[in-house]
Structure 1
Amino acid sequence: MMLVEVTATMLLLGLLLGFVGAGGSGFIIAILTVVFGYPIHTALGTALAAMFFSSLSGSVSHYREGNMMLKTGGIVGLAGAIGAWASSSWSSFIPEDQLGWMTSGMLFSSGLALWFRMAYQAKHAGKAESAPMQAKGMKFYLSAAAIGLITGALSGLFGIGSTPFIQLGLMLILGLSMRFAAGTTMLVIMPIALAGGAGYYSVGYLDIQLLIAVVIGTMLGSYVGAKFTKRVPVVMLKTCMVLTPMLGASILLI
């Protein structure tokens, strides 16, 4: 019966996430722990694994639109998978109460990083796009690997998508435009979510039935919610995008 309630709740949550275009892993973690009483380690593993499915559809769409740098995304994603796999086992050594506070802090940081990304985008709007770093040479490989390892470790440890951090790394370090950063990030998240979810499963913190309930609810809700994105003012949409992870962080602190 609880899984039915989880699916229904995730359906409603998916409406919000689809509307603001967010992965919402932090919000999922908050709802599973505070509302349904799941241990935070299980919630982290479930939310991280669920991101694979939401990123899969986004990756296909961005690839078809030509918004993806495959080589760059592959290298960053592979390094991210290593970081997520390693850090997912580290979380088991962190007490639940401390992990909740740390995850909440990361969600607030995600909101701030998202705001910074929007400010960066607005500042460079209308300007000629600078050439990205060439996808070759030691500097490129080291930079791409560093972005992947750091953001992957954050995702694996705290169960979050790290989307704003990945996009900022791709734009500020590798020189990708906002368009290519958004599309390539979808590709990067897939191996991170898969490796992190597998890591949580290997230490017994991934509930497959719960994962199915979360995926069904959020994907159905997101599909419907996305239809309302173009029907609201841009300012309201951007505000909701920044506040969504912060609201999830606030719920975790209850």
Structure 2
Amino acid sequence: MMLVEVAAVMLLLGLLLGFVGAGGSGFIIAILTVVFGYPIHTALGTALAAMFFSSLSGSVSHYREGNMMLKTGAVVGAAGAIGAWVSSGWSSYIPENHLGWMTSGMLFSSGLALWFRMAYQAKRTGNQHNSPLQSRGMKFYASAAAIGLVTGTLSGLFGIGSTPFIQLGLMLLLGLSMRLAAGTTMMVIVPIALAGGAGYYSVGYLDIQLLVAVVVGTMLGSYVGAKFTKRVPAIMLKTCMVITPMLGATILLI
């Protein structure tokens, strides 16, 4: 019965996430722990694994639209998968109460990073964009690997997608445009979520039945919620995008 309730709540949450275009792993973690009482380690593993499905479908869409740099995504994603796999094991050594407020802090930071990304994007609008760093040479591989390892480690440890951090890294270090950064980030999250979810499963912190309830609810809700995105003013949408992870962080602190 609880799984049905989880799916219903995730359906409502999916409406919000689809509206703002967010992965919402932090919000999922907050709901599962605070509302339904699941251990935070289980919530982290479930949220991270759930991102695999949403990111996979998003990656296919971005690829068809030409919004993706495959080699860049492959290098960053491979490094991110290593970081997520390793750090997902580390989380089991962190006490639940400490992990809760640490994850909350990361969600607040994610909201701030998202705001910074929007400001950076606005600053570049109308200006000539720098060409992306060539996908070869030591500088490219070192920068791409650094982005992947850092963001993958954050994702595996705290169960978050690290989307704003990945996009900022792709734009600032590799010179990608916002459009290419958004599409490539979706590709990067796929191996990170898969490796992180597998890591949590290997240490017993992934509930498959709970995962199914979360995925079904959020994906159905997101599909409907996305239809309202173009129906509201841009300033309202941007405000909701920044507030969403911070709201999830606040719930975790309750």
Output the TM-score relative to the length of structure 1: 1.00
User: Deviation digits for residues 32-78 of structure 1, max 9, x if unmatched?
Assistant: 00000000000000000000000011101100000000000000000
Q: 1: CA distance between counterparts of 2:57 and 2:201?
A: 23
Equivalent residue number for residue 222 of structure 1: 222
Aligned sequence identity (%): 87
Aligned AA (2:201): Y
Equivalent residue number for residue 182 of structure 2: 182
User: Deviation digits for residues 186-229 of structure 1, max 9, x if unmatched?
Assistant: 00000000000000000000000000000000000000000000
Asked if 1:81 is matched to 2:74, the reply is no
Asked if 1:247 is matched to 2:247, the reply is yes
Equivalent residue number for residue 25 of structure 2: 25
Q: 2: CA distance between counterparts of 1:242 and 1:101?
A: 19
Task: Name structure 2 gaps, 5 residues minimum.
Answer: none
User: After TM superposition, where is structure 1 displaced by more than 3 Å over at least 4 residues in a row?
Assistant: none
Equivalent residue number for residue 197 of structure 2: 197
Asked if 1:153 is matched to 2:149, the reply is no
Aligned length: 254
SS, match of residue 214 in structure 2: helix
Equivalent residue number for residue 113 of structure 2: 113
SS, match of residue 126 in structure 2: coil
Asked if 1:211 is matched to 2:211, the reply is yes
Q: CA RMSD in A?
A: 0.3
Aligned AA (2:129): E
SS, match of residue 204 in structure 2: coil
Task: Name structure 1 gaps, 5 residues minimum.
Answer: none
Equivalent residue number for residue 129 of structure 1: 129
Residue pairs, 1:59-78, within 5 angstroms: 59-78=59-78
Asked if 1:236 is matched to 2:239, the reply is no
Q: CA deviation at 1:179?
A: 0.6
Q: CA deviation at 1:129?
A: 1.8
Q: 2: CA distance between counterparts of 1:213 and 1:126?
A: 44
Aligned AA (2:243): L
Output the TM-score relative to the length of structure 2: 1.00
Equivalent residue number for residue 96 of structure 2: 96
Q: 2: CA distance between counterparts of 1:57 and 1:238?
A: 23
Q: 2: CA distance between counterparts of 1:20 and 1:170?
A: 21
Residue pairs, 1:158-169, within 5 angstroms: 158-169=158-169
